[in-house]
Amino acid sequence: MGVNCRFLFSRLAKSAFIGFPFLRSVWTKMDLSLPDVRGMTELDRAKFTKEVTVPSVEIQSKNVGKSMPVFKKYLLKMEKLKPVTEVQENDERRKLLLDPILFETFDKLREEDQQKLSELDLNKNSFSNTCLHLEYHNFRIDDVFKAVLPEGKEGCTSYSRIGHIIHLNLRDHLLPYKNLIGQVLVDKLIGVKTVVNKSSAIDSTYRNFQMEVLAGEADFVTEVKENLCTFKFDFSQVYWNSRLCTEHERIIKLLPQKSVLFDVFAGVGPFSVPAAKVRKCRVFANDLNPSSYHWLKENVRLNKVENVNTFNLDGRQFIREQMPPFLLTRPTEPIHVTMNLPALAVEFLDAFIGLLSGVELDPLLDITVHVYSFCEESSAFSEMRTKVESALKHSIENEQIVELVDVRDVSPKKHMLRLSFRIPPDVLTKAAEEETSSEPKRLKLDLETQDR
């Protein structure tokens, strides 16, 4: 599974974490200080021990089920700890451990709940305190980090889960604790075998980055399920961002059944594969990165999709060489073009200028382009439109804009946007400019550069 999350190293009272349930911490009213672990940089599990006291009640075994309508919401929820336990040397009774945040006293219960418990021979004298011995396996992730990491400093970071891999982007003040952080995540998250930290910026050519293994195995080949498809790839060699799962789904839903998709920066296929499998589109998928191209072909095979042509070309070359031959067949299906390379995609829009120079478009082709870019928060929408019009050297009318979407926040002042627009016919038929006319227009489909 491929997921995207925001992780707070501080306590989260009510939260949900894909793959690992954050349940309300039970220790707000108890002293959980662990002075021996503050500043620890190498994980010593033996030092995570603590004696705590929680409310409890003993009840006849046969009445446990009957008491749940009252007690269920008060039960203690902790890692590796059962809230209903056996009473030593008494098989006919059970002890219920209660959450000290939620449960105070018998007298504070609603009158109808008191009545139900009275019918089970329970009263205020039935309740007592139980001492629990907590060890490392009982501590939640956020409580471990809160005990270890420096006080008074921001204790949060973002991460992504990609199959069995956790991808971190640690802030500088957390780097001394990186190995401990990695090992805790391997220990606590089910199915996680590898934790890596981003150690360099994304390469703008192949869209991959250097990473450091913090804990677990150096195994980067992983599988992710998304949009009814399975994607397999080497995370160290390709680009995959789990935070874009929702955006991938939005684009797939925008594609009409049996339409045509040209995916200029396809990566390992998060647009192309479900477009072919779910929407039955005819797909032309391209990526310059040889590793992405390899896994793109593998994912086409793995998902048993047909009608997908794959290419390993520069994006501008792909547009200029592979689109004209198809467009000259006068297709009647809607045509969509995805350009998900936010750092550079807008710069490739000039490839559409004069793409069908000298061709009379009658009827007009229905071509929708979905292009991504990074923009400053304060002027994101106007900046995005200006960028696109500048690259096309042509204005876009309001009726040609399908939608302008703020995909996600990259940083507090930087957003990733998508502009979906119908490309103006005049852009396609414009006479090729001098700097581009020197390149011969190839209208014959080059069978050697495609791979079904």
Q: From the annotation, which residues make up the binding site for S-adenosyl-L-methionine?
A: 248, 287-288, 314-315, 340
Q: Is 372 helix (H, G, I), strand (E, B) or coil?
A: strand
The two three-digit tokens of residue 187, written as one number: 């220990």
Provide the terminal-to-terminal Cα distance of the chain, rounded to the nearest Å.
Answer: 27
The two three-digit tokens of residue 250, written as one number: 């939005």
Closest to 102 (Cα-Cα) out of 21, 23, 31, 48: 23
Beta bridge partners of 59: 94
How many Cβ atoms sit within 10 Å of the Cβ of residue 373? Answer: 24
**Helix orientation angle between 178-188 and 141-148, rounded to the nearest 10 degrees:** 160
Known binding residues: 248, 287-288, 314-315, 340
Start-end of H helices in 328-433: 380-392, 425-429
Q: Max alpha carbon distance in the chain (Å)?
A: 93
What is the distance between the alpha carbons of residues 206 and 193, in angstroms, rounded to a whole number? 26
What is the distance between the alpha carbons of residues 163 and 66, in angstroms, rounded to a whole number? 41
Start-end of H helices in 103-208: 111-118, 141-148, 178-188
Q: What are phi and psi of 366, to 5 degrees?
A: -95, 90
